[in-house]
Amino acid sequence: MERNYKIPVHVSIIMDGNGRWAKERGRERFCGHAEGVESVRACTEEAVRKGVRYLSLFAFSEENWNRPRDEVSSLMELMVKAMVNELPTFLSNGIRFVVLGNRERLDGRLNSEIDECMRRTAACVNMTLVVFLSYSGRWDILQAAKRLALEAAADPSMVPKVKDMTIEDFSGYMSTAGIPDPDLIIRTSGELRISNYLLWQCAYSEMYFTDTLWPDFREGEFDAALAEYAKRDRRYGKVK
Ligand code: IPE
Ligand code: IPE
Ligand code: MG
């Protein structure tokens, strides 16, 4: 099939505004997170329909560990539940499921559900859904640098390779190795910042900000972001 270059290969979303969505309705923050799961489902299905190859979602940042304990544990519970519930949909839609982030900080049960879901969807080829959990851009760059330094320290024959290292080679040490950089990054809820998300990988991403709160961001909103992307002129520093 010929590729439509107006459709981004990789769409990434900073899903923000769940708390405000709940507050506007006089409900607990948790209700906003639960409703946000419906938006995840809607956008995932729409991304598959539109031929997006990678959809990635910022679900929980390293900084989010600093939220009240109750909120953190209810978010973790919600993730486990959502993963178990969505597995049949992933399989029937051919969606490969991947979690990236500092998984050492996640609890054992969540980690084993993640492993199970990743293992069972590993051969799916329609689309890859990446969920960033306990993730931060600086953590990613740091773990890449540490790994490289330790490899070079253990094997001095690597030194010339390190000297000649390219940007692409270093990308191979990031947690996102093998996943193309996002073409389009969407942030909901009106915040105009990157919040320590994909710092290395966002070098040439198109940014799309919307005031819509994440629980209200469904197919129509996703399509609007794709339509805006299709109008962008990506010059990569060149003159056109
Ligand atoms: C995004 O919604 C979900 C997470 C960061 C886990 P928020 O919980 O940040 O919602 P607001 O920003 O407080 O409205
Ligand atoms: C960013 O949202 C992280 C996620 C969407 C998972 P936050 O709501 O935590 O971001 P800040 O703190 O407002 O920048
Ligand atoms: Mg927020």
User: CA-CA distance, 142 to 200, in Å (whole number)?
Assistant: 11
Strands (E), the chain: 10-14, 54-61, 95-100, 127-135, 184-187, 206-209
pLDDT-derived band at 2 (thresholds 50, 70, 90) equals low
Q: Where are the alpha helices (DSSP H) in 94-165?
A: 108-121, 137-154, 159-163
Query: Is residue 56 a part of any domain in this protein?
Result: yes
**Overall domain count for the chain:** 1
Q: Is the pLDDT of residue 3 over 70?
A: no
Q: Over the chain, what is the mean pLDDT?
A: 97
Distance 192 CA to ligand 2 centre (A): 11
Does the C-beta of 8 come closer than 6 Å to ligand 1?
Answer: no
Task: Please tell me the predicted confidence (pLDDT) of residue 4.
Answer: 74
Query: Is residue 204 a part of any domain in this protein?
Result: yes
Distance 194 CA to ligand 2 centre (A): 9
Does the C-beta of 18 come closer than 6 Å to ligand 1?
Answer: yes
Which CATH number do you get for residue 52? 3.40.1180.10
Query: Is residue 28 a part of any domain in this protein?
Result: yes
Distance 166 CA to ligand 3 centre (A): 35
Does the C-beta of 90 come closer than 6 Å to ligand 2?
Answer: no
Per-residue pLDDT of 177-195, as tens digits, reads 999 999 999 999 999 999 9
Q: Which atom of ligand 2 is nearest to the CA of 132?
A: 6
Q: Which atom of ligand 2 is nearest to the CA of 214?
A: 5
Per-residue pLDDT of 75-114, as tens digits, reads 999 999 999 999 999 999 999 999 999 999 999 999 999 9
Query: Is residue 220 a part of any domain in this protein?
Result: yes
pLDDT-derived band at 5 (thresholds 50, 70, 90) equals confident
Query: Is residue 170 a part of any domain in this protein?
Result: no
Query: Is residue 149 a part of any domain in this protein?
Result: no
Q: Which atom of ligand 1 is nearest to the CA of 20?
A: 14
- State the ligand closest to the CA atom of 198: 2
Task: Please tell me the predicted confidence (pLDDT) of residue 48.
Answer: 97
Residues labelled catalytic: 16, 64
pTM for the structure as a whole? 0.97
Range of 35's domain? 10-137+181-231
Give the burial class of 67: count Cβ atoms within 10 A of its Cβ; 0-12 exposed, 13-18 middle, 19 or more buried: middle
Using CA positions, which residue lies closest to atom 1 of ligand 2? 195
Query: Is residue 35 a part of any domain in this protein?
Result: yes
Query: Is residue 203 a part of any domain in this protein?
Result: yes
